[in-house]
């Protein structure tokens, strides 16, 4: 199998560079396994050499624990030492991730003539969109842990709990099953607050008749899940039931349509058409989904604004998460995680029903 470093090198001719400076923390981890974050080092990739440049805090951990062909350089002057290494590696034209600070750009610009550097947007992010077999196994495990935890949570739920109590209980259960940490603050949004697509968990008490949206993701072995279910606590108002039905129809249609070779925006259009034809198009105010992996939000974005270059491919891990949000009714979002296969998709989160779950307690 082609190494991750070689996947980067294979882009050099097209990009007209012969080296790349990587500064994003997740991208450094992807290439070398380095667990530091943004600002804790840089990775330099040359045509046949590479280096992790970090400080003494990480020397013991990575001295003998880097991929073949990656040397460890210890310093506090990450960019200065990277520029010395770039010359030693024979790099004549250096690419760099275009998210660096102006101050760090100055160090690069001082070393290389202005014509011998090139900002490179989202190269590693695009490579990371298609997962390796080992990555997919970790993503399945993350999904399995989250599914098991949510199903264990359900019997404990009842009217009178606060949103924060639900979030904390889920956190306790899922960590007991081996999850490392949440990939974002768990959303529990009840009643009128369920109409907030990214509402945080609060001390609001869950009441009878509430729609309650629970959106959560947890890391296992460095890879995350991302799941949403909307529950009913007791009998719902008729329009609340209707928007649940429409959202589930959009979810089912989108998952059924997903396949390699589609444009991301065409998959978004499947969900949007179902919701628009039901009269709720203006109430679906976000993208249909996105990739997940080492980060909770990765490419591709499944959106009406996605470009012609955003083409779905086998091995991508996508969330599918249509939603409808009505200020005077509440909101519904249902989210599954799917792997694109040769002829369709594999649903990793099907173990939690998407039919409306009613909590009667």
Q: Give the pLDDT band (50/70/90) at residue 99.
A: very high
The pLDDT value given to residue 164: 99
Which token pair is 144? 């399995």
Look at the alpha carbons of 299, 174, 30, 23 in this order and tell me if their dihedral is positive or negative: positive
Position 114 pLDDT exceeds 80: no
Q: Which domains does the chain have, with CATH numbers?
A: 4-128 (3.40.350.10), 130-359 (3.90.230.10)
> pTM higher than 0.75, yes or no?
yes
Strands 218-220 and 181-182: antiparallel
| DSSP letters for 3-21 | -HHHHHHTTHHHHT-SEEE
- Note the pLDDT tens digit of each residue in 167-213: 999 999 999 999 999 999 999 999 999 999 989 999 999 999 999 99
SS3 content of the chain, % helix, strand, coil (to 5): 35, 25, 35
Question: What's the half-sphere exposure (Cβ side, CA atoms, 13 Å) at 220?
Answer: 23
Task: Check if the beta carbon of residue 283 is closer than 8 Å to that of residue 327.
Answer: no
The pLDDT value given to residue 360: 96
Position 354 pLDDT exceeds 90: yes
- Note the pLDDT tens digit of each residue in 46-84: 999 999 999 999 999 999 999 999 999 999 999 999 999
| DSSP letters for 187-198 | EEEEGGGGGSTT
Position 37 pLDDT exceeds 90: no
The pLDDT value given to residue 115: 75
- Note the pLDDT tens digit of each residue in 216-256: 999 999 999 999 999 999 999 999 999 999 999 999 999 99
Which token pair is 121? 């947007």
Task: Check if the beta carbon of residue 352 is closer than 8 Å to that of residue 150.
Answer: yes
Angle in degrees, 0-180, between the axes of helices 163-176 and 133-153, rounded to the nearest 10:
130
In terms of Cα–Cα distance, which of 226, 184, 228, 234 is closest to 208?
234
- Note the pLDDT tens digit of each residue in 259-312: 999 999 999 999 999 999 999 999 999 999 999 999 999 999 999 999 999 999
Position 113 pLDDT exceeds 90: no
In terms of Cα–Cα distance, which of 125, 74, 67 is closest to 99?
125
Q: Where are the alpha helices (DSSP H) in the chain?
A: 4-9, 12-15, 25-32, 59-62, 78-88, 102-111, 123-128, 133-153, 163-176, 238-257, 264-277
Angle in degrees, 0-180, between the axes of helices 78-88 and 102-111, rounded to the nearest 10:
30
The pLDDT value given to residue 1: 67
Task: Check if the beta carbon of residue 201 is closer than 8 Å to that of residue 163.
Answer: yes
Task: Check if the beta carbon of residue 21 is closer than 8 Å to that of residue 32.
Answer: no
């Amino acid at each position: 199998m082609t190494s991750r470093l070689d996947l980067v090198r294979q882009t050099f001719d097209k990009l007209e560079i012969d080296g790349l400076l990587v500064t994003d923390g997740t991208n450094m981890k992807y290439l070398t396994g380095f667990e530091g974050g943004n600002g804790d080092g840089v990775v330099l990739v040359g045509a046949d050499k590479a280096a992790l440049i970090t400080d003494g805090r990480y020397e013991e951990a990575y001295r003998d624990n880097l991929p073949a062909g990656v040397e460890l350089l210890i310093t506090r002057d990450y960019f200065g030492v990277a520029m010395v290494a770039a010359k030693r590696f024979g790099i004549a034209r250096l690419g760099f991730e275009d998210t660096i600070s102006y101050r760090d750009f100055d160090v690069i610009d001082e070393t290389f003539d202005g014509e011998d550097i090139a900002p490179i947007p989202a190269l590693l992010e695009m490579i990371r969109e298609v997962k390796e077999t080992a990555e997919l196994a970790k993503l399945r495990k993350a999904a399995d842990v989250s599914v098991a935890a949510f199903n264990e949570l359900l019997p404990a739920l009842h009217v009178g709990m606060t949103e924060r109590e639900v979030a904390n209980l889920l956190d306790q259960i899922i960590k007991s099953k081996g999850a490392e940490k949440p990939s974002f603050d768990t959303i529990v949004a009840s009643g009128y607050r369920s109409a907030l697509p990214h509402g945080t968990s609060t001390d609001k008490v869950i009441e009878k008749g509430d729609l309650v949206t629970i959106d959560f993701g947890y890391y296992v072995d460095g890879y995350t899940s991302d799941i949403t279910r909307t529950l009913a606590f007791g009998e719902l108002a008729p329009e609340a039931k209707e928007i649940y039905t429409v959202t589930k129809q959009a979810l089912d249609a989108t998952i059924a349509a997903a396949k390699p070779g589609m444009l991301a925006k065409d998959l978004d259009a499947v969900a949007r058409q179902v919701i628009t034809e039901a009269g709720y198009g203006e109430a679906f105010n976000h993208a249909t989904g996105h990739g997940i992996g080492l980060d909770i939000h990765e490419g591709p974005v499944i959106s009406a604004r996605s470009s012609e270059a955003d083409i779905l491919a086998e091995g991508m891990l996508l969330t599918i998460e249509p939603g409808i949000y009505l200020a005077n009714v509440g909101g519904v979002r249902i989210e599954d995680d799917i792997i694109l296969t040769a002829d369709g998709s594999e649903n990793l989160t099907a173990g939690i029903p998407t039919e409306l779950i009613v909590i009667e307690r």
